Amino acid sequence: MTRPAAPSSAWQLLHQVFNDLFRFIGALGRELRATRGRYFVIVVPVLWLVLFFLVPFLIVLKISYAVSDPSVRPPYSALVSFATQDTLAITLSLRNYLMLLADPLYVGAFLRSLLFAGVSTGVALLIGYPIAYGIARARPFPRLVLLTLVILPFWTSSLLRSYALIGILKTNGVLNQALQGLGIIDAPLEILHTNLAVYIGIVYNYLPFMILPLTANLMKLDFTLLEAAADLGARPASAFLKITLPLSLPGMIAGSLLVFIPAVGEFVIPDLLGGPDALTIGRVIWTEFFNNRDWPLASAVAVAMLALITIPMLVFEYVQNRENAAGAKR
């Protein structure tokens, strides 16, 4: 076996080095071209989350540790300052977070927001599930028409839809006039500016967010399983509880999260339809920011609301992953 001849001159050695370098660059370019689509799919959402979620959140988090100071602009103290010419001081205040726990106004607003969001999510699920089930069982063309009717309210602003509800729910509104005309009631009902009006507004505005994920999930369901259950003697109610309901659980969870999360921080609906008792987190943040100009306290409320929503979701996701991993091992 003969060895390859060594380069006879420095020029040949240099030529070989450059050839190897060009081959490496070419191979790297081919690898990047082959994988750039995958990297693009990953990088764009990450950049979006960093720019429009993480950066604003960090700004709000920074403000929440400041102290309100209306004499300066923006109206809060600086976190980093020079104590002396060569000493840098960082001042973090927990006063805003302690106030959230000490003042029953903020605790009540948190609990009221959770109550509004939780009850509205449950009602939206009870209303949206039969609608989604009917859409999933419909033929293609009627299904398209029904889905269009579900999506149609998104073509108008939620603010306009809330104003439309005012015209329906007020004392001399469409609902009271219809009920009085049918002889069901003698005196008009006081619905507007009550908690009931808030529930109606949230369910009305967020119902499509419940129907669409449920419809997508139920359309994947193999309905021949229901026919097989019926052939085996199962009643329709039993087949629904043992087959349809468990298989549609992912759609129920997705729809509930899509309704519950934005409903917790809702501002427009409680402000327009609710009364003075419908003080929610969204209204508190608005009041502290724009009326009281207490930006640090408003930022602390926003951070606490985000933690209140995010931490249970992370715990739920962790438990689900543990259960899925345990099921895979079996």
The domain segmentation of the chain, as residue ranges, is 103-293
Confidence at residue 3, expressed as pLDDT on a 0 to 100 scale: 45
Q: How far apart are CA 68 and CA 290, in angstroms?
A: 13
Mean residue pLDDT of the chain comes to: 85
Tokens 């449950």 belong to: 122
pLDDT of 198-239, one tens digit each?
999 999 999 999 999 999 999 988 878 888 888 888 888 888
Confidence at residue 232, expressed as pLDDT on a 0 to 100 scale: 82
Q: Which residue has the higher pLDDT, 249 or 321?
A: 249
Tokens 């948190």 belong to: 110
List phi, psi (to 5°) of 69. Answer: -145, 90
pLDDT of 116-125, one tens digit each?
999 999 999 9
Q: Could you give the percent of the chain with pLDDT greater than 90?
A: 43
pLDDT of 32-55, one tens digit each?
566 665 666 677 777 888 888 889
Q: How far apart are CA 247 and CA 258, in angstroms?
A: 19
Q: Is the pLDDT of residue 7 over 50?
A: no
Confidence at residue 309, expressed as pLDDT on a 0 to 100 scale: 83
For 83, the enclosing helix (H) or strand (E) is: strand 80-84
Architecture of domain 103-293: Orthogonal Bundle (1.10)
